[in-house]
Structure 1
Amino acid sequence: MVRGKTQMKRIENTTSRQVTFSKRRNGLLKKAFELSVLCDAEVALIVFSPRGKLCEYASSGMQNTIDRYQRLARDVQTNSKAIEQSVQNLKYEYANMEKKIELLEVSKRKLMGEDLGSCSIDELQQIENQLTQSLSNIRGRKTQLFKEHIEQLKEKERILKAENRILREKALQQTILDRQIVPHNQSSPHTDVETELSIGIPERGNVCSPSEN
């Protein structure tokens, strides 16, 4: 069975209250001293008794600790104000961004031809001028891209023509070189010998008689 926590309340009996105060005060002073020694902490303790008597303990001097506390408290307060101001600035910027986004959304819908029922003639004329200017910018950019593409094609054509000219020159040089070389198995025209061989009985005019010999 778990017991509930006992609720603390003021001791009504004056004598008991004074005795309890003395005991708890001494224990508190002892704990403050132990904390400063064991943990090398700067501790300052101020206690006023029910009758207004001061009890204090300070490991590094009470006034030094109070001054240090006040400096840190001022720094914390200053930092808190700076943080609060920064938060306010962020909220203000966020609200402005929301308004700008809303205006841009409205403008976008109108440029798309939506929500034009509440527009006046001047607003419609302004929207038309914006669309005309946008269309002009788009056409200008398109024309520029076409020109750049044509220039690239011309540059490729120039490179291909140069390569073709080089190949033609190489082919012509090779043809001239081939014509200057004479094959080894070709006969010279001055070495041709005509020979005539006859088989059979010689003709009479060409045969010598024995008496002529």
Structure 2
Amino acid sequence: MLFWQMWLAIVTLSWNPTHLQTHTRTVFLYYIFFFSLSLLFAVKSKHTLALFFYISIYFFLSLLFAVKVYLVHLHCFLQKKTHPPPSRKEMAREKIKIRKIDNITARQVTFSKRRRGLLKKAEELAVLCDADVALVIFSATGKLFEYASSSMPELLEKYKLHSNNNVVDKVDDSLNLQLQESDQTRMGKELLDKNRELSQLRGEDLHGLTLEELQRLETLLEGGLNRVIRTKDERISNEISTLQQKGFRLMEENKHLKQQMLTLTSNGKRPRTRGVELDNVATNPDDQGQSSDSVTTNVCSCSSGPPPEDDCSDTALKLALPFN
């Protein structure tokens, strides 16, 4: 019995303070249990010396135990004061660096665990959200692992169709954008060239031109000036021919009027104009010819002169003979 008590005391005193703090109640119960057994044995043996010896040993061990517990509590108090307990952030799980696992066995174990977790998450996503999920995994050895919520071929065909549509749309958008940019660049360049040519035709912005370019510009301007002069001459000749045709037409009308005058004169009627009496018209043929010549001269002078054609038209109307 004494041997077990000594062993319990040695183990108690040699424990780590942290462990002793954790198991203080258990050790104290052990002491009470062994003390009761020893006391019962001493009383039954009726040896006063043995009883005194057991009580002395227990008193000494209890004193050592009390000192040890006090020191442990003092150590823990000082440790808490100098080293406060870690916060929740510090107690959180450390982040694992994502890199290739060098150990092949550990790599295979990690692959198996992560693969099962990934397949489980894919299945949960398909069930909870009613989504079409397809998962394809190839291991390092080339082994295939797959999961599909409905049918893998249907999901792959759907994915291909969606990918092709996206690619076509992206290609069309990029081509249209490139065409628009090229058209804008080309039109901007053409606009700058035309503005520069126009300013050069006006005689501006000629400092950067070489001698050959100046000669070419001079030839261009001379050709343009000749075309302008030619067009002006054509317009003038056309107007002259138009006026001549009007003069000939007025002369024909004048001849027709003279014949009407002769006819009326031969019938004994005296022609009158509107508010103007034709006194110069003679009844004999000589006088009639003279008056006709004077009228013809007036009409020709009206048609060949520069006055407007409205005046000649008024003259022709005045020569009309109203019938009384």
Aligned residue number for residue 53 of structure 1 = 143
CA contact (8 A) 2:136 2:145 kept: yes
Instruction: Map residues 196-207 of structure 1 onto 2, 5 A cutoff.
Output: none
Q: Is structure 2 residue 204 aligned with structure 1 residue 114? A: yes
**Which TM-score applies when normalising by structure 2?**
0.36
Corresponding position of 1:98 = 188
Q: What is the TM-score with the length of structure 1 in the denominator?
A: 0.53
Match of 1:37 in 2: 127
Find the aligned partners of 1:99 and 1:130 in 2 and give their Cα distance: 29
Percent of aligned pairs with the same amino acid: 39
**1:108 counterpart letter in structure 2:** L
SS in structure 1 of the partner of residue 141 of structure 2: coil
What displacement does 1:69 show? 0.8
Q: Within 5 A, what are the aligned runs for 1:134-145?
A: none
Equivalent residue in structure 2 for 1:64, among 147, 154, 158 = 154
Question: What is the rounded CA distance, in whole Å, between the counterparts of 1:90 and 1:73 in structure 2?
Answer: 26
Q: Output the CA distance in 2 between the equivalents of 1:14 and 1:55.
A: 19
Q: Residues 5 and 24 (structure 1 numbering): CA distance in 2 closer, same or farther, change over 3 Å?
A: closer
Change (3 A) 1:28 1:6: closer
Distance in 1, Cα, partners of 2:194 & 2:227: 14
Q: Supply the AA of the counterpart residue of 1:124.
A: L
Deviates more, 1:3-12 or 1:79-88: 3-12
Tell me which of 113, 118, 128 is aligned to 1:28: 118
Alignment match of 2:169 (pick from 53, 59, 79): 79
RMSD: 2.9
TM-superposed deviation, 1:130: 9.3
SS in 1 for 2:204: coil
Alignment partners' CA distance in 2, 1:61 and 1:40: 14
Q: Which runs of 5+ in 1 are unaligned?
A: 133-213
| Distance change in 2, residues 1:7/1:93 (3 Å) | same
| Secondary structure of the corresponding residue to residue 137 of structure 2 | strand
Partner of 2:105: 15
Structure with max Cα Rg: 2
Shift of 1:99: 1.8
Helix, strand or coil at the partner of 2:135: strand
Corresponding residue of 2:221:
124
What's the counterpart of residue 194 of structure 1?
none
Cα deviation per residue 1:170-205 (whole Å; 9 max; x = unaligned)? xxxxxxxxxxxxxxxxxxxxxxxxxxxxxxxxxxxx
Change (3 A) 1:25 1:35: same
Deviation at 1:67, TM superposition (A): 0.5
Alignment CA distance shift 1:124-1:43 (3 Å): same
Higher relative contact order (CA 8 A, sep 6+): 2
The corresponding residue for 2:179 is 89
Please tell me whether the aligned partners of residues 201 and 221 of structure 2 are also in contact (alpha carbons under 8 angstroms): no
Change beyond 3 A, Cα 1:130–1:42:
farther
Bigger helix fraction: 2
Alpha-carbon shift at residue 128 of structure 1 (Å): 4.8
- Cα deviation digits, residues 137-160 of structure 1 (max 9, x gap): xxxxxxxxxxxxxxxxxxxxxxxx
Aligned length in residues: 132
Q: CA deviation at 1:5?
A: 6.5
CA contact (8 A) 2:134 2:155 kept: yes
Change (3 A) 1:109 1:33: same
Letter in 1 for 2:174: E
1:19 to partner: Cα distance:
1.0
User: Unmatched 5+ residue regions in structure 2?
Assistant: 1-88, 230-324
Counterpart for residue 23 of structure 2: none
Gap change, CA 1:129 and 1:60, over 3 Å in 2: farther
- 1:28 and 1:20 map into 2 onto residues whose CA distance is 12
Q: Is this contact kept in 2: 1:111–1:127, CA < 8 A?
A: no
